């Protein structure tokens, strides 16, 4: 038998043995398992919940009715919260991007500018004019040496020139530093901290100190500290009497849109972070010599740093501090305020005759409870 046939016989024999063992169940291998895929689990449709009802929009119809009933023909009212504007109404023709002089509403811009320097360590509320102004006395016997920046911003420094009085504050031919040196030379009227007077000299001195503390003209400081961080337009800045001698207490201008952004940032604590310090009543023990209104029963207002602490009581008490309403109305009727208790800000943007602040303040007082009711809905 040749080799090929022998190999074939052996292969056939081994195949027969393997088949026999398989038939008898021998061997370790098992037939491959058949995998049957699991059927898809039963599906139960999940109902889609109804969308939550949108919160009701505040109803400002009563505010609008009060505005329409007001005697003025051309002005705007803007109201907002920390989340932005919630109401805007223009009566007549009053463009919201146009520049307007804002008179004493400038005080909030000035005090905020200086407080930002304080919070950044460039100045302190306990600083004195002689810390920055070379001509200012440091003689302890001279009451002018005891004036603090806090007293200047709260109008209790003792320099009691009244609004509209003649002096260097409206001068076109002097610088801010020259003006303040003239104020210094004219002398102080009362001891620092003993009296409140709503005059222009306090903030003029404070602005001169800020110039020396930073090496930057005060008109530029407003732009650097307020306008640029908030992205305000060129409408906001000092326009009177000059850029070299800006009237820190009343020479500013702005647009309603710009000032609304300023108020929103103020309420958020983005301009001045320590609002408790900034808006604390600074004259609890000194008599009020001036209120922003010439008539009307608005209560007894006190003063913080560059702003009034409003009060609806005939005599200021602890409930007035709890009211937490602050404002800085100007003589042309431009009236901004924030209400920290309710959590909103408001602006009456108006272009009226000089010394008509009480007209806008009367409207502001009428609108305040109506706004609170609308926001409480």
SS (H, E, C) the chain: CCHHHHHHHHHHHHHHHHHHHHHCCCCCCCCCCCCCCCCCCCCCCCCCCCCCCCCCCCCCHHHHHHHHHCCCCCEEEEEEECCEEEEEEEECCCCCCCCEEEECCHHHHHHHHHHHHHHCCCCCCCCCHHHCCCCCCCCCCCHHHHCCHHHHHCCCCCCCCCCCCCCCCCCCCCCHHHHHHHHHHHCCCCCCCCCCCCCCHHHHHHHHHHHHHHCCCHHHHHHHHHHHHHCCCCCCEECCECCCCECCCCCEEECHHHHHHHHHHHHHCCCCCCHHHHCCCCCCCCCCCCCCCCCCCCCCCEECCCCEECCCCCCCCHHHHHHCEEECCCCCCCEEEEECCCCEEEEEEECCCCCCHHHHHHHHHHHHHHHHHHHCC
Residue 256 in tokens = 């309603």
Over residues 363-373, the pLDDT tens digits come to: 999 999 999 99
- Go through the domains of the chain in sequence order and give each one's CATH number: 61-375 (3.40.710.10)
**According to the model, what pLDDT value does residue 358 have?**
83
Q: How confident is the model at residue 317 (pLDDT cuts 50, 70, 90)?
A: confident
- Using CA atoms, how far apart are residues 335 and 357, in angstroms rounded to an integer? 8
Over residues 21-64, the pLDDT tens digits come to: 333 344 444 444 444 444 555 555 566 666 666 667 899 999 99
Compute the average pLDDT of residues 176-186.
Answer: 96
Compute the average pLDDT of residues 148-167.
Answer: 89
> Taking Cα atoms as reference points, which of 289, 313, 295, 113 lies closest to residue 206?
113
**According to the model, what pLDDT value does residue 166 have?**
64
Residue 347 pLDDT > 80: yes
Compute the average pLDDT of residues 252-265.
Answer: 98
Q: What is the pTM of this model?
A: 0.84
Residue 169 pLDDT > 60: yes
Over residues 186-229, the pLDDT tens digits come to: 999 999 999 888 899 999 999 999 999 999 999 999 999 999 99
């Amino acid at each position: 038998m040749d080799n090929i046939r022998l190999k074939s016989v052996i292969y056939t024999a081994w195949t027969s043995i393997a088949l026999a063992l398989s038939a008898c169940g021998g061997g370790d291998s098992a037939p491959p398992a058949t995998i049957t895929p699991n059927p898809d689990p039963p599906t139960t449709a999940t109902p889609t919940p109804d969308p939550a009802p949108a919160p009701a929009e505040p109803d400002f119809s009563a505010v609008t009715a009060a505005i329409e009933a007001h005697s003025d023909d051309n002005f705007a009212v803007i109201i907002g919260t920390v989340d932005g504007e919630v109401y805007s109404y223009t009566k007549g023709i009053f463009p919201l991007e146009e520049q307007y002089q804002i008179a004493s509403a400038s005080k909030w811009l000035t005090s905020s500018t200086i407080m930002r320097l304080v919070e950044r360590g460039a100045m302190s509320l306990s600083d004195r004019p002689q810390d920055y102004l070379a001509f200012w006395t440091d003689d302890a016997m001279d009451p002018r040496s005891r004036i603090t920046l806090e007293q200047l911003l709260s109008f209790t420094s003792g320099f009691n020139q009244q609004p509209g009085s003649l002096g260097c504050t409206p001068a076109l031919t002097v610088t801010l530093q020259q003006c303040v040196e003239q104020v210094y030379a004219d002398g102080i009227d009362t001891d620092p901290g003993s009296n409140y007077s709503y005059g222009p000299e306090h903030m003029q001195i404070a602005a001169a100190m800020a110039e020396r503390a930073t090496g930057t003209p005060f008109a530029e400081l407003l732009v650097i500290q307020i306008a640029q961080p908030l992205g305000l337009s060129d409408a906001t800045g000092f326009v009177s009497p000059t850029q070299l001698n800006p009237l820190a207490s009343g020479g500013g201008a702005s647009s309603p849109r710009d000032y609304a952004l300023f108020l929103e940032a103020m309420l958020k604590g983005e301009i001045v972070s320590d609002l408790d310090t900034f808006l604390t009543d600074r004259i609890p023990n000194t008599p009020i010599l001036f209120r922003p209104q010439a008539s009307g029963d608005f209560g007894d207002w006190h003063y913080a740093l560059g702003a009034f602490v409003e009060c609806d009581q005939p005599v200021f008490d602890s409930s007035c501090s709890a009211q937490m309403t602050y404002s800085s109305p100007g003589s042309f009727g431009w009236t901004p305020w924030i209400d920290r208790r309710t959590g909103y800000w408001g602006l009456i943007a108006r272009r009226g005759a000089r010394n008509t602040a009480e007209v806008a303040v009367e409207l502001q007082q009428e609108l305040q409870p109506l706004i609170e009711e609308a926001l409480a809905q």
